[in-house]
């Protein structure tokens, strides 16, 4: 799970030359000895990191370096590697999730839509050796393309954070979901396809273990209201909203009372499906929902607005429409119109 000796030597040749050259141009440090792989040149890690951090804050510096070193010092393939670092580097906070036979899997630490899995190799040591085999562990790192492989830029900052059982379960759920949805990225080259085949069935309604109790509590209230006042269509859509909220990272449902969230979800779904419009076959007054939950209309509408913003429930969203309205809802008309006009 690390580079070959030949690849190690090539990486450090290019990496050391780049850091030294960038500092020579921009004077991040007034004095900096050029490091040479395999020698005992006195270069402190603190100095090296100071230049490295400034360079990643200003990646256009790599363009300047390549323009000033167009004299045959590097082969075309070596220049292409350095240029790929400029265009394809991934600087982020990651969680090292697994150590597999071919690589370690780093998960970017973002919300559900931004989360990605990267299969990365160490340089002279594997991530497994560097991290004493422990996973999950949170780190700051810069991932780089190296041919068809993904490596890191030789520096990694780990956090002394111990994940509890609930957080570990949540991270695993996210890992499984992202692996199913997008696979594991093992190359940053143009046209590269994520590795690892998708499972046959998607965990569509699966929520993190840590949220299951909350889901059951809120879901019971949603189901009871829909059984008494609405129908199965509303129950299905409202529970779909509940699942989406449970799966957000972090889930907003960890704060607040179950009846407030249940009320807000039903109010948001009802409003989106014109439940408060007297011309509809199924009609309720806007106060009927909060009255049933023992809440004020302001509380219900406020929570519904919060949910609408989080899930982007608006007149253009067709994801939260009950089955019987799918032919007549304006969102579907707008969608068809947009498709027609391209």
Which residue, 127, 147, 182, sits at the end of a domain?
182
72 shares its domain with 166: no
**pLDDT of amino acid 193:** 64
Structural domain includes residue 195: no
Domain end residue (candidates: 36, 68, 86): 86
Residue with tokens 């020698």: 39
Q: For 162-185, how does the pLDDT look when each residue is reduced to its tens digit (9 = 90+)?
A: 887 777 877 887 888 788 778 899
Instruction: Based on the fold, state whether residues 30 and 42 are members of the same structural domain.
Output: yes
Residue 192 lies in a domain: no
pLDDT of residue 341: 42
Q: How many CA atoms lie within 13 A of 237 on its CB side?
A: 25
Spans in the chain with pLDDT lower than 50? 112, 197, 199-202, 336-342
> 224 and 281: one domain?
yes
Residue 17: per-residue pLDDT: 93
In the chain, % of residues over pLDDT 70 = 89
Q: Range of 301's domain? A: 209-334
| pLDDT attached to residue 330 | 64
Q: What is the pLDDT of residue 50?
A: 94
Q: Is residue 204 part of a domain?
A: no
pLDDT tens digits, residue range 243-288?
999 988 789 999 999 999 999 999 999 999 989 999 888 999 999 9
Q: What is the CATH number of the domain that holds 293?
A: 1.10.472.10
Of 251, 236, 61, give the one whose Cα is nearest residue 166.
251
Tell whether 78 and 116 lie within a shared domain.
no
pLDDT at residue 332, as a whole number: 55
Residue 62 near residue 18, CB atoms below 8 Å: yes
Q: Tell me how far apart the terminal alpha carbons of the chain are, to the nearest angstrom.
A: 46
Task: Please report how many Cα atoms fall inside a 13 Å half-sphere around the Cα of residue 86, on the Cβ side.
Answer: 19
- pLDDT, residue 204, reads 54
The Cα 127–Cα 311 span in angstroms is 36
Task: Judge whether 259 lies within some domain.
Answer: yes
- Does any domain span residue 190? no
What total number of domains does the chain contain? 3
According to the model, what pLDDT value does residue 34 have? Answer: 84
Residue 131 lies inside a defined structural domain of this protein: yes
Q: Are 103 and 121 in contact (CB under 8 A)?
A: yes
Alpha carbon distances (Å) from 238 to 27, 64, 72, 269, 311:
59, 55, 64, 6, 12
Q: Which two tokens stand for residue 38?
A: 């395999």
The verdict on 82 and 144 lying in the same domain is no
Residue 247 lies in a domain: yes
Residue 257 neighbours by CB distance under 10 Å? 12
Residue 224 has what pLDDT?
Answer: 96
Same domain, 258 and 318: yes
54 with 133, same domain: the answer is no
Same domain (yes/no): 67, 96: no
- Mark whether 249 and 295 lie in a shared domain: yes
């Amino acid at each position: 799970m690390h580079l070959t000796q030949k690849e190690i030597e090539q990486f450090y040749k290019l990496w050391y030359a780049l850091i030294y050259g960038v500092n020579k141009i921009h004077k991040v440090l007034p004095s900096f000895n050029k490091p040479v792989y395999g020698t005992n040149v006195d270069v402190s890690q603190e100095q090296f990191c100071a230049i490295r951090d400034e360079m990643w804050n200003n990646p256009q510096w790599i363009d300047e370096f390549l323009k000033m070193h167009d004299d045959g010092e590097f082969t075309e393939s070596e220049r292409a590697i350095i240029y790929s670092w400029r265009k394809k580097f991934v600087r982020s906070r990651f969680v090292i999730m697994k150590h597999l036979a071919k690589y370690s899997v780093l998960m970017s630490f973002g919300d559900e839509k931004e989360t990605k899995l990267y299969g990365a190799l160490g340089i002279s040591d594997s991530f497994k050796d560097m991290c004493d085999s422990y996973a999950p562990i949170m780190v700051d790192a810069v991932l780089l393309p190296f041919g068809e492989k993904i490596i890191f830029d030789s520096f990694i900052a780990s956090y002394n954070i111990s994940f509890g059982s609930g957080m570990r379960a949540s991270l695993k759920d996210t890992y499984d979901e992202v692996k199913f949805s997008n696979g594991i990225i093992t190359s940053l080259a143009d046209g590269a396809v994520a590795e690892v085949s998708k499972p046959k069935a998607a965990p569509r309604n699966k929520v993190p273990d840590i949220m299951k109790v909350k889901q059951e509590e809120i879901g019971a209230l949603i189901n009871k209201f829909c059984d008494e006042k609405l129908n199965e269509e509303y129950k299905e859509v409202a529970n779909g909203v509940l699942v989406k909220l449970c799966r957000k990272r972090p889930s907003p449902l960890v704060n607040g009372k179950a009846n407030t969230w249940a009320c807000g979800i039903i109010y948001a779904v009802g409003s989106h499906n014109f439940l408060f419009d007297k011309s509809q076959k199924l009609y309720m007054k806007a106060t009927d929902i909060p009255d049933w939950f023992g809440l004020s209309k302001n509380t219900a509408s406020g929570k519904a607005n919060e949910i609408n913003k989080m899930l982007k429930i608006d007149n253009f969203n067709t994801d939260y429409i009950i089955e019987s309205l799918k032919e007549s809802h304006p969102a579907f008309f707008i969608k068809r119109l947009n498709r027609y006009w391209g």
